[in-house]
A and B are shown apart, each in its own frame.
Chain A
Amino acid sequence: QKEVEQNSGPLSVPEGAIASLNCTYSDRGSQSFFWYRQYSGKSPELIMFIYSNGDKEDGRFTAQLNKASQYVSLLIRDSQPSDSATYLCAATGGSWGKFQFGAGTQVVVTP
């Protein structure tokens, strides 16, 4: 069983709509959660992090964490073609001690 799981996609989203990305993790001891955006051929860029249950908003991005369900999500509002990328979910602080990454969800925003 993978420690961090994401749907691989592609997730096709019309321009201006909300993109909803999901991530589950297996280690209940995980404490910190991150979303990275990765354009093709480029390195991951940290866009959101969340530590506490609930929502955290930053511009068009909202991260949601539910530790009881071991579930993290990322919402992208008013999606733009520039949001087309692969989004990596990561968790840390669990029994493995180091960052664990999901395989990523590819998002395609269509004009």
Chain B
Amino acid sequence: DGGITQSPKYLFRKEGQNVTLSCEQNLNHDAMYWYRQDPGQGLRLIYYSQIVNDFQKGDIAEGYSVSREKKESFPLTVTSAQKNPTAFYLCASATGWGSNEKLFFGSGTQLSVL
């Protein structure tokens, strides 16, 4: 089955700890995205990547880091510099280009602080 797989579903972070959220897709999509969703709010873009070995900061990149070493994988690290990490994290990949681009989401990771 083609799709976007995020793991783990739930993740707990201790003070001062870095944690990494996994995102893998087998849809052969070039573009991948990370969003953060807080209760009652829309999605905010953290990072995005349009090709392997290249990525750009989104609106709220501070305290986060990413890598794109393979087309299929776009892991997100939440560093200890992110002081308010509790949120629902969504990975997405996109098919099409420009105005024909459509975004599809993984199942999400709920990150909480212990």
Residues of B within 8 A of A34 (CB): 102-103
Are A43 and B107 also in contact (CB < 8 A) when A32-B100, A92-B99 are? yes
Residues of A within 8 A of B102 (CB): 34, 46, 49
Interface residues of B (CB under 8 A from A): 33, 35, 40-43, 45, 48, 58, 90, 98-108, 110
Residues of B within 8 A of A98 (CB): 33, 45, 48, 58
**Which chain B residue shows the least CB distance to A45?**
B105
Interface residues of A (CB under 8 A from B): 4, 8, 31-32, 34, 41-46, 49, 51, 88, 90, 92-93, 98-99, 101-104
Determine the main DSSP class of A at the interface with B: loop
**Which chain B residue shows the least CB distance to A2?**
B42
Please, how many angstroms separate the alpha-carbon atoms of A49 and B96 in the complex? 13
Residues of B within 8 A of A4 (CB): 42
Residues of A within 8 A of B58 (CB): 98
Are A93 and B90 also in contact (CB < 8 A) when A43-B107, A98-B45, A98-B48 are? no
